[in-house]
Chain A
Amino acid sequence: MDNVLITRIRDLSFRYGSELVLDGVNLDLSKGDYVGLVGPNGSGKSTLVKSLLGLLPLQSGDIELFGRSVDQFSDWQRIGYVPQHVFRGDRSFPATVREVVESGHIRGTSILCQLGLRHCEPITDALKTAGIEHLLDRRIGELSGGERQRVFIARALVSHPELLILDEPTAGIDQSAQETFYDLLETLNRQHGITILLISHDLEVIAHEAKTAICLNHRIVYSGPATALHDEDVVRRIFGSRIHHGLHI
């Protein structure tokens, strides 16, 4: 693993009203990392990710992306983001897989490209990597949850990101589709060298898939090898009784 720092979070705290959601969080991600961020519901995972992506204003602390403060960062094509739920259950959204994947290229080179009347950007590699070439002209609303998430991986890949952030990407997806999905993430990390930050409330997924685990419960309560989370005693020491409240093992 190269030791090139991709993200650097220092003393990050965040409050919703009087409730302290993040309390002095420090986190580094280096090139080639495959980090699993795990924690119970309400532990601050989504707040941490939204802060990292500049979707929430910084209240206290610092976040750097590729050496620049998140406030001033503009090189967003270096980061791929796969949100948890994109359609919020709306299957009638009129868009094809091709249109969704091409939207990963936000800066079109001409008006015809912008309108999608001419296909100006290479999306074939991204489709092939995500294994969804056969779905190209299907409507996004017709796809299964697993297929849809692979479409959004492909969309993230078209801009050749160095960091891929996935927020609970397999929520509501069946077991076999989950396995295919995590195989794809492993390939992206190992063969393409893409740094991955995988957010989940499922300890088993993080223990199996990630190299490093970060356990969050408003503050970082564990940072180390993900395989350690296979041991239930270790997990109980980390989370205590919270293991029954929104954490799966």
Chain B
Amino acid sequence: MITDFYQYDFLSRALIAGLLLGVLAPLIGQFLVVRRFSLLADTLSHVSLLGVALAVFFQFPIFIGALATSLIGGLGMEALRRSGKVMSESILALFFSGSLASALVLLTVSDGVSINLLSYLFGSITTVTATDLAILFVLLIAAFIFLSFGYRKLFLLSLDEDLARVSGVSAVRYNMLFILLASAVVAGSITVVGALLIGALMIVPVLAAMQWQCSFLKTLFLSIGLAEAAVITGFLVSYQLDLPSGATIVLCTLLSFIISYLANIKKVA
């Protein structure tokens, strides 16, 4: 099998894309989980499906469409949350169903346009292009830069937003920047793992790592480690058994959660 990786470029590109996502997804996901915003990733991915539909309809690059709608959707959700007029979970439901419905209607009326919607719902890690890799790499660098300077501020915002504001943190600025980054990561991942699975890669490794009851930083490193293990295992298993790679990777993250949960079941939460 190792020789296959040397022989076929698409395999090595797929593995690199998976490994990059294995760092990126939990990096964003941990802040979503502790802020009780776990479903944001799923909602953003469905919003980006609308972008895919728009890109197909108006014939421009898929990534641009996915990025534009997820950025606009992310900022819209944050603005609604800040207004306090709609409950957070309801905002997610609003965007989740609204964007999926719009995408389906748009794709239906796009007469004569053929699109394999399934590949955007479930992704296709084995058709990763060099451009997809470049996008993921740029997003990883952007995430590192943002967290290097904003880690403690995001930690404090996650702990208590009022406390963060009274400590001089610009909650509006950091929340917006974080949502923008999360939106871009979702848009960059949709062609690789798909709209239905990126949320799982962002959230499940974090939930698994949290079972070990470590510090915030150790939980972050552990969730990245678990995501990387799931990517490698899922990739090898899917290749050997001819299974869908994205779904196999997500099943591996679920397995890591079950093992982590059972191993720590006697610990008091």
Contacts and interface: CB of A to CB of B under 8 A. Distances in A.
B163 interface: yes
A81 B152 contact: no
A86 B163 contact: yes
A98 B150 CA distance: 18
Contact of B159 (A91, A93, A117): A93
A103 interface: yes
Interface string B197-236: 0000000000001100111110100000000000000000
B219 A141 contact: no
B151 A94 contact: no
B269 A103 contact: no
B165 A55 contact: yes
A76 B168 contact: yes
Place the interface of chain A in its size category: 35 or more
A96 B216 contact: yes
B106 interface: no
B159 A76 contact: no
Contacts of B34: 93-94
B104 to A, nearest CB: 36
Nearest to B145: A111
A92 interface: yes
Interface string A92-109: 111110111011111010
Nearest to A117: B217
B210 A94 contact: yes
A116 B151 CA distance: 9
A211 interface: no
A86 B159 contact: yes
Interface in B235-269: 268-269
A111 B168 CA distance: 19
Contact of A55 (B148, B162, B269): B162
B182 to A, nearest CB: 19
A65 to B, nearest CB: 11
A183 B215 CA distance: 30
A91 B152 contact: no
B156 A79 contact: no
Place the interface of chain B in its size category: 20 to 34
A5 B242 CA distance: 74
A139 interface: yes
A74 interface: yes
Nearest to A105: B152
Contacts of B268: 142
B148 A114 contact: yes
B153 interface: yes
Contact of A104 (B147, B167, B215): B167
A83 B159 CA distance: 11
Interface in B145-175: 147-153, 155-156, 159-160, 162-163, 165-169
Contacts of A92: 210, 269
A54 interface: yes
Contacts of B162: 50, 53, 55, 81, 83
B149 A111 contact: yes
B152 A53 contact: no
A55 B168 contact: no
B159 A103 contact: yes
B163 A94 contact: no
A69 interface: no
B248 to A, nearest CB: 28
Nearest to B155: A103
A228 B159 CA distance: 38
29 contacts: A54-B166, A55-B162, A55-B166, A76-B167, A77-B168, A79-B166, A81-B163, A86-B163, A92-B269, A93-B159, A94-B210, A94-B214, A94-B215, A95-B155, A96-B215, A98-B215, A99-B155, A99-B216, A103-B156, A106-B167, A106-B169, A114-B148, A114-B150, A114-B151, A115-B151, A115-B217, A116-B151, A116-B215, A117-B217
Given A76-B168, A77-B167, A79-B166, 7 more contacts: A92-B269, A94-B213, A99-B155, A102-B152, A114-B150, A116-B215, A139-B215
